[in-house]
Each structure stands twice: as C-alpha cells, then as structure tokens.
C-alpha cells in the first residue's frame, strides 16, 4: 500500500537498526518504500519510512520517495495482452547469458514472440537482447537462434570466477552443467590437461584460473569458437597456462603428454576415444568422457566403449564414477564417466 504522506523518521545511523526493528514490530514501518541515507553537519542519518508520525522522533516528509517494485512473473506481465489459452503455453524458464536472454518458444506462439521478448527485457533491465532458441545443427553444434527483442547478441558472461565472451547466435553456452565445470576446475593441480573439444574454454578457463595446472592444451575445430577461446584466455589472464590449438582432435591432439583428458563433447565423442586415451602419458592418467545415453543403457554403453578402446591399445581401466549431468532429451541423459587408464 502506497502511503500518501511519505513520512520518514530521521535517526542516527548507529541506532538505526534497533529503531527499525522496533518500528517493524510496531507495524508502522512502511515496507513499500526504500530507506535512504542523509548527512547533516558531518553526521550520518537514516530516513526510515513510516506510515504515521512517531511521537518523540524527528519526522520528515520525503518529497522524492523511492518505492520497491514487486517482481511479476512473465505470465503475469502478459495476462492483460494475451488470452489465457496462450498464457498456459508460455515457457516458465529461460537462460540469462551475460546480457542476453535465451528462450525456447513453442510454434503456437509465433505471433507473440516480440511481445514475449519485450516483457523479458522489462523483467531484466540490465539485459539488452532476447533471442529465441530453435535448437542446434551440424557437426559444430551451431545454435539456431533469432533476435526477438533488443539488439547485440555478443556478450560477456560471468561464471565461477571466470569471464566468457561469446555470441549466443554463433556458439553454444550451457549453464546446465555448471556443477561439472566447477568439479573439473578444482581437479588439475600441477597436472598437464588436454581439453578436447574445448569450445570457448568452458572447462579450460576455470581449470587454469582455479587449479594451478602445469599446462592446459585446448583443442577446438570451429574457427568461431576458437576465436572466442583465444579472447577468453586473454580476458582471464591465463596466457601462460593455456595453449589453444585449432584443428580436428583426431589430427592435432598431441599424444603421450596428459595427466588428464577432458572429452566434453556429446554426439560423436566415442569416435575419438582412441585419440583421448593416446593423449594420456604412457603410464596413464584420468579420462573424463562425456556421452548422451538412453537411460536403459546408462551404466553399460559408455563404460563398454571406454573398455573396448582401452583394450585396443593394451590399456587397463578403472571406472571411478558415472555422473548424470542433465536430461538431454526424453529418456536420454548426458553423462560423464571418470575412468583411470593404466
């Protein structure tokens, strides 16, 4: 409820919390208005918003009150502009990547995409662009996305103490595997790591920033992703730790150098298992193998693929852990297998 008088109680800052609590308990603190600071004769005061004059205290009128605004949901913002049958189809989740919002909108709402984008920008004032996600395509797993509101699809996203520059219409960035990225970022102390399918540095950058590795070798085939990888290495000041290599992992990945190998791609990753194992030092090391797997094969197929590849090279394996990262599609999981190769 907005209070017309816009009254405040002026109190010394050192006593403000005690008085604020008393006003709250007395149900006279105006919760719709913001507390302000002021200084008189070098002494600091707080102006606590109240609903009536408080005897015994200096009460002042606030000529420029600042009100809290309650955050409405996307559906609530659209209620007056769309019929209920369409409101039910509005997505309840989306990704905020830097200053860009990425949302998947069903085809039934094709005529409403601009309106949805405008409302999202209203919800996120610091964002400048909304793009509609339509999936991925090709060997590079390029995103299919279109601007529905705002402008500028290139942004800088902050995550886990690192910064990533990218264009959301040109390269993928998933926030769904943050836990895995954090886990990897702490696992490579004093090690040589080879990050196959490095992308823009999803795993390489956090490892270099947080793990104190000897070296991270980052291999990426997509020239656009590789360009952002190079920029992100510079932005995170890890030029002395990360060596980017442009090319096909099957061709340019160095052999016999790594204590740890990350195979963080999904789709055709199993075709590169021999390369991944060969990249490890002769005495062996740790392999982190990603795959998308039907749930009924989750504990069998990826493990068997690693075992068969190791057997071809005369190596032994020990499965350390099988982790579910997220649902990839109905009945299919993105999983990671940690395998010790000797």
Q: Mean pLDDT for each 10-residue chunk of the chain (342 residues)?
A: 70 89 87 87 91 90 78 87 91 92 95 95 91 84 91 93 95 83 90 96 95 96 96 97 96 97 90 96 96 91 95 96 88 93 96
Q: Residue 1's pLDDT is what?
A: 42
Cβ density class 299-315: b for 16+ within 10 Å, e for less: eeebbebbbebbeeeeb
pTM for the whole thing?
0.76
Residue 212: what are its φ and ψ, rounded to 5°?
55, 55
Which domains occur in the chain, in start order?
7-61 (3.30.70), 74-152 (3.30.300.110), 174-341 (3.40.50.150)
Strands 260-263 and 100-103: unpaired
Q: Residue 69's pLDDT is what?
A: 63
Q: Shortest CA distance to 290 belongs to which of 324, 247, 250, 341?
A: 324
Q: Residue 32's pLDDT is what?
A: 78
Taking the C-alpha atoms of residue 120 and residue 90, their distance in angstroms, rounded to an integer, is 12
For residue 29, the 8-state DSSP code is B
Q: Residue 102's pLDDT is what?
A: 96
Burial class (CB in 10 A: 0-12, 13-18, 19+), 53: exposed
Q: Residue 70's pLDDT is what?
A: 59
Among the residues of 213-314, which ranges form H helices? 223-235, 249-252, 273-279, 301-312
Q: Residue 238's pLDDT is what?
A: 97
Strands 260-263 and 162-167: unpaired
Which residues, listed in sequence order, are joined to residue 162 by a DSSP beta bridge?
159
Radius of gyration, alpha carbons of the chain: 27
Strand, helix or coil for residue 283: coil
- Reported as a single tens digit per residue, the pLDDT across 164-201 is 999 999 998 877 778 888 889 988 999 999 999 999 99
Q: Residue 173's pLDDT is what?
A: 86
């Amino acid at each position: 409820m907005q209070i017309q008088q816009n009254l405040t109680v002026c109190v010394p800052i050192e006593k403000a919390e005690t008085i604020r609590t008393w006003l709250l308990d007395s149900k006279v603190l105006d919760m719709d208005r913001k507390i302000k600071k002021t200084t008189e004769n070098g002494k600091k005061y707080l102006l606590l918003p109240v609903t009536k004059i408080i005897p015994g205290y200096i009460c002042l009128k606030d000529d420029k009150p600042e009100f809290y605004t309650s955050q409405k949901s996307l559906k609530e913002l659209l209620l007056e502009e769309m019929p209920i049958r369409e409101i039910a189809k509005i997505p309840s989740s989306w990704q905020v990547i830097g200053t860009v919002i990425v949302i998947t909108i069903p085809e039934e709402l094709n005529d409403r995409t601009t309106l949805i984008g405008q409302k999202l920008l209203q919800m996120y004032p610091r964002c400048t662009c909304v793009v509609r996600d339509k999936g991925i395509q090709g060997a590079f797993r390029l995103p299919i996305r279109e601007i529905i509101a705002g402008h500028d699809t290139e942004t800088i996203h902050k995550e886990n103490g690192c910064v990533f520059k990218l264009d959301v219409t040109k390269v993928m960035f998933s926030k769904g595997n943050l836990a895995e990225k954090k886990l990897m970022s702490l696992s490579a102390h004093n090690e040589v790591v080879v990050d196959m399918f490095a992308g823009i540095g999803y795993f390489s950058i956090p490892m270099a920033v947080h793990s104190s590795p000897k070296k991270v070798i980052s291999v990426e085939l997509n020239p656009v992703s590789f360009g952002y990888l190079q920029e992100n290495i510079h932005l995170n000041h890890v030029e002395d730790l990360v060596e980017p290599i442009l090319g096909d992992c099957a061709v340019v990945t160095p052999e016999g150098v790594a204590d740890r190998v990350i195979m963080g791609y999904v789709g055709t990753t199993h075709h590169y298992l021999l390369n991944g194992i060969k990249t490890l030092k002769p005495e062996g090391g740790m392999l982190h193998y990603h795959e998308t797997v039907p749930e009924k094969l989750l504990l069998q197929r990826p493990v068997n693929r690693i075992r068969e590849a190791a057997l071809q090279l005369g190596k032994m394996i020990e499965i350390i852990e099988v982790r579910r990262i997220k649902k990839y599609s109905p009945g299919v999981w993105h999983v990671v297998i940690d395998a010790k190769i000797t």
